[in-house]
Amino acid sequence: MRLASLFSRLKPPRGFRLTKAGKIFFLFLLAIIVVAMLTGNNLLFLILAGMLSFMIVSGIESERNIRYLEMSRGVPSEIFAKRPAHIHYAVRNTTLTSKRLVIEDSEKMLLGRLVKGSTEKLEAGHIFPKRGDFRLGKVEVSTTYPYGLFEKSISFDLSEDIVVFPEPLVHTLYASSGSDGQGRGLAHDSISHVRGYVPGDPLSSIVWKKQHLGLISRVVEGGSGASGVVVLLPEGDLERKLSHATFIILELQKQRSPFGLIMNDYFSGIGVSRDHKFEILRHLSRATAITSPRKVDLNGKTQFIYL
C-alpha cells in the first residue's frame, strides 16, 4: 500500500510520448552531440544549442496548451447492453486558447481549436457488451502542439459507477389475470401508441406509410396484457428472459400502465414512476440466476405476465 502511494506521488503529472517526427529529431540531436564532442566544431555546438532551445519552447507551449483545461462527462440515465450509449463531454480552457486536442475515453475525439473561455461539447458512442455494473475511468486529453515532436497528455479523474441494463428484446405480451394464473390470452386488441422501430419488431406492426419519419412500429395492447406484473420463471435462458422483461417494463412505463416485477424472492411493488422503473431495471441487470418466484397476493385486477 505504501509503495503504491509512493508511486502515485512520484508519477509525473503529464504523460509523455515521442511522435515519429520527435524520434527523428532526437536521433539528429544525438548525432550532432556525438559529432560536436568529437570534432569540437563551434558551429555544431551552435546548431545543438538551437535544437535544444527549439525542444524547450515546444515543451513550454505544449504545457500551456493543456494546463488550464477543465473537463466534465455526462452519462445518459438509461444505458442498455449491446445498444449505443451516447456519452457527452464538455471541455473548457479558462485562461488560454488551446489547439490540436485529442480527447480519449471510449473512443478518440479530435478538437482542433478551443477558444479561451468557451466550452466545447463533444459526443461519443459506446456499446457495452453485457449488462451489470461498470466503472467509467479517467479521461485523457493529449496534444502534439506546437511542432509535433512529442505527445503530452493530462488525465482527468472522472471515475463513475454506472449500471448497464439488459438489452431490451421485443416480446409479444402473454398474460394471466388473477393470482392463480388463469385467463391466459394474447394482448393484441387495440393500438396504444407508436414508437421508433426496434430490431425484432414484427413486420406487421411497422407503419410503412410514414417511412419519411424513419421506421415506426405500432404498440398494441389488450384486455389481458395491457399492464401488470412481470413474473420470471426458472426455466429457459436467463439472458433472454431478462431482455424480454426489460422490454415489457419499458413498454408498460411508456403507456403509463402500472407495472411491477416478481423474480426469486424479490417483489418490486406496483408503480408507474421513473424511479420505480429504474429500480426494477437495476435489479434485472444484477441478476445471476432465476429460482421459483415468491407468492404475492394482489387484487383480482392485476395481470401477471409470465416469462
Q: Does some domain include residue 2?
A: no
Same domain, 190 and 300: yes
In the chain, the number of structural domains is 2
Positive or negative, the CA dihedral 271, 273, 276, 280 is: positive
Q: What pLDDT does residue 46 have?
A: 92
Mean pLDDT of 211-222: 50
Assess whether pLDDT exceeds 50 at residue 10: no
Chosen domain end from 142, 164, 186: 164
Mean pLDDT value across the chain: 81
Considering only 39-48, 106-115, 246-255, 294-303, which range has the smallest mean pLDDT?
A: 294-303
Pick 66 or 182 by higher pLDDT: 66
Indicate the residue type of 174: Y
Task: Return phi, psi of residue 228, to 5°.
Answer: 145, -160
Domain hosting residue 203, numbered range: 174-306
Q: Show which of 119, 138, 164 is a domain's final residue.
A: 164
Q: What is the CATH number of the domain that holds 24?
A: 2.60.40.10
Q: What count of other Cβ atoms lies within 10 Å of the Cβ of residue 278?
A: 15
Q: Which amino acid does the sequence have at 89?
A: Y
Mean pLDDT of 158-170: 93
Residue 1 resides in a domain = no
58-71: average pLDDT: 90
State the pLDDT at residue 207. Answer: 52
- Residue that finishes a domain, picked among 114, 134, 164: 164
Shared-domain flag, residues 289 and 189 = yes
pLDDT at 160 over 60: yes
149 and 196 in a single domain? The answer is: no
Side chain identity, residue 54 = F
Stated pTM of the model: 0.74
- Whether 92 has a pLDDT exceeding 80, the answer reads yes
- Per-residue pLDDT tens over the stretch 65-75: 998 999 999 99
In a shared domain, residues 283 and 182? yes
Shared domain check, 181 and 148: no
Alpha-carbon gap, residue 219 to 162, rounded angstroms: 30
What is the model's pLDDT at position 173? 62
Residue 280 to residues 151, 194, 228, 287: CA-CA distances in angstroms? 46, 24, 14, 11
